[in-house]
Structure 1
Amino acid sequence: MILKTFIGWNRNAAAWLERRFPRIFGAPSYKEELERRIADDVARLRPSAILEVGGIDRPLLKRSADFTYIGLDIEEKPDCYRIYDRFVVQSIERPVDVEAGMLISITLMEHIPDNKAAARSMFLALRPGGVMHHYIPSKWHPYSVALRLVGPVMQKWLIPHLRPSAVGVTGYPAFFDHCSPSDMAKLFRDQGFERVDVMSFYRASDYFAFFLPAYLSVALFENLCAALNWRMFCSGFVISATKPTHQ
């Protein structure tokens, strides 16, 4: 009870700072940027099939008569077969029996042990001229480093106490293979993608809101990295890439 009260006070104080000083503590929405890129390309390319990887029962889009919506994940839930037109249970590290005009994901690739294999599978799953859009947490942000140090077992124990709103949503093993803006961009280019476009985001101090001194320290570090354009230490990045029209 004392711990819960202490964490609650810290989180309330962090929330007040974010409301009072949004330019310092506020976080631009990476999800809005990801959704904007997806919407623009849906309107521009009108893909007949869209593959979402790792969406499970929390998809980025809704089913539409304009395209076949295919989901892929290593696990399944009953709603998956209602949310998508088709659902595939497998790892994206293996070739997928899908031909899509667009491929999308959010907070997926940090959980994949071998992103070189995943990028190759994504390339093969896209039609020539197809596009993909991802949001990927970056491996050198303080939260990502702490996540690897703590490990998934301890993480699942801590989440209900430190971030109760994330119960059931996070806590999966994270490997962060190639998960930095420069490494992932190079990986995609090496697999044959072109027009690789990366936008970095720097603020994820909310992960440390359970303890105000840590929250303030990380926010200061994030603002410094943003000012100096130290993309290596960004909290995450939206990355888009295109499969060439001619192979």
Structure 2
Amino acid sequence: MILRTFIGWNRCAAAWLERHFPGIFGAPSYKAELERRIAEDVARLRPSAILEVGGIDRPLLVRSAEFTYIGLDIEEKPDCYRIYDQFVVQSIEQPVEVEADMLISITLMEHVPNNKAAARSMFLLLRPSGVMHHYIPSKWHPYSVALRIVGPVMQKWLIPYLRPSAVGVTGYRAFFDHCSPSGMTKLFRGQGFEQVDVRPFYRASDYFAFFLPAYLSVALFENLCAVLNWRIFCSGFVISARKPTH
């Protein structure tokens, strides 16, 4: 009870700072940027099939008569077969027996042990001129480093105390294989993708809101990295790429 009260007070103080000083503590929406890129390419390319990887029962899009919406994940839930037109249960690291004009994901690739295999699978399943858009947490942000130090078992124990709103949504084991702007750019280009475009995001101090001094320290560090364009320490990045026409 004392711990929950202490954490609650710290989170309230962090929320007050974010409301009153959004330029310092506010976090630009990486999801809005990802959704913008997806929407623009849906309108421009008119894809006949879109594959979302790792969306499970929380998809980025809704079913539409304009395209076939395919979901892929290593696990399934009953709603998956209602949300998508087609659902595939497997790892993206393995060859996928579908074809798509667009591939999308959000907070997926940090959980994939072998992203080289995943990138190869993505390249092969996309049709010529196909595009993909991802949001990927970056491996050298303080939160990502802390996550690897704590480990998945302790992480699941801590989440109900430190981030109760994330219970059931996060807590999966994270590997962060190639998960940096430069690492993922090099990986995608190495598999044959072109027009690789990255936008880094720097603020994820909310993960440290359970303890105000840590929240302030990380926020200061994030703002410094943003000013100096130290992309290696970004909190995450939206990355897009295109498969060549030929």
TM-score when normalising by structure 1: 0.99
Q: Distance in 1 between matches of 2:190 and 2:38?
A: 23
Count the aligned residue pairs: 246
Q: Map Cα deviations across residues 122-165 of structure 1 (whole Å, 9 max, x no partner).
A: 00010000000000000000000000000000000000000000
CA drift of 1:80 comes to 0.2
CA drift of 1:82 comes to 0.2
CA drift of 1:244 comes to 0.1
State the partner residue of 1:99. Answer: 99
CA drift of 1:94 comes to 0.2
CA drift of 1:47 comes to 0.3
Q: Distance in 1 between matches of 2:5 and 2:207?
A: 17
Matches for 1:197-216 after TM superposition, within 5 Å: 197-216=197-216
Q: Distance in 1 between matches of 2:230 and 2:194?
A: 24
State the partner residue of 1:66. Answer: 66
3-state SS, counterpart of residue 9 of structure 1:
helix
TM-score when normalising by structure 2: 1.00
Which amino acid in 1 is paired with 2:156? K
Instruction: Point out 4+ residue stretches in structure 1 off by more than 6 angstroms.
Output: none
State the partner residue of 2:77. Answer: 77
CA drift of 1:41 comes to 0.1
Matches for 1:165-180 after TM superposition, within 5 Å: 165-180=165-180
State the partner residue of 1:163. Answer: 163
- In structure 2, the gaps of 5 or more residues are none
The answer on 1:87 being equivalent to 2:87 is yes
State the partner residue of 1:30. Answer: 30
State the partner residue of 1:229. Answer: 229
Q: Map Cα deviations across residues 31-77 of structure 1 (whole Å, 9 max, x no partner).
A: 00000000000000000000000000000000000000000000000
Which amino acid in 2 is paired with 1:190? G
3-state SS, counterpart of residue 121 of structure 2:
helix
Which amino acid in 2 is paired with 1:103? L
3-state SS, counterpart of residue 151 of structure 2:
helix
3-state SS, counterpart of residue 91 of structure 1:
coil
State the partner residue of 2:241. Answer: 241
Q: Distance in 2 between matches of 1:153 and 1:61?
A: 32
Q: Distance in 1 between matches of 2:87 and 2:200?
A: 31
Which amino acid in 1 is paired with 2:195? R
Q: Distance in 2 between matches of 1:208 and 1:79?
A: 33
Which amino acid in 2 is paired with 1:160? P
The answer on 1:110 being equivalent to 2:103 is no
Q: Distance in 2 between matches of 1:232 and 1:139?
A: 8
Q: Distance in 2 between matches of 1:46 and 1:11?
A: 43
State the partner residue of 2:192. Answer: 192
Q: Distance in 1 between matches of 2:229 and 2:98?
A: 38
Q: Distance in 1 between matches of 2:149 and 2:55?
A: 26
Q: Distance in 2 between matches of 1:104 and 1:98?
A: 14
CA drift of 1:105 comes to 0.1
CA drift of 1:103 comes to 0.1
3-state SS, counterpart of residue 88 of structure 2:
strand
| Percent identity for Structure 1 against Structure 2 | 89
State the partner residue of 2:143. Answer: 143
CA drift of 1:224 comes to 0.3
Which amino acid in 2 is paired with 1:37? R
CA drift of 1:16 comes to 0.2
Q: Map Cα deviations across residues 3-40 of structure 1 (whole Å, 9 max, x no partner).
A: 11100000000000000000000000000000000000
3-state SS, counterpart of residue 179 of structure 1:
coil
CA drift of 1:208 comes to 0.2
CA drift of 1:106 comes to 0.1
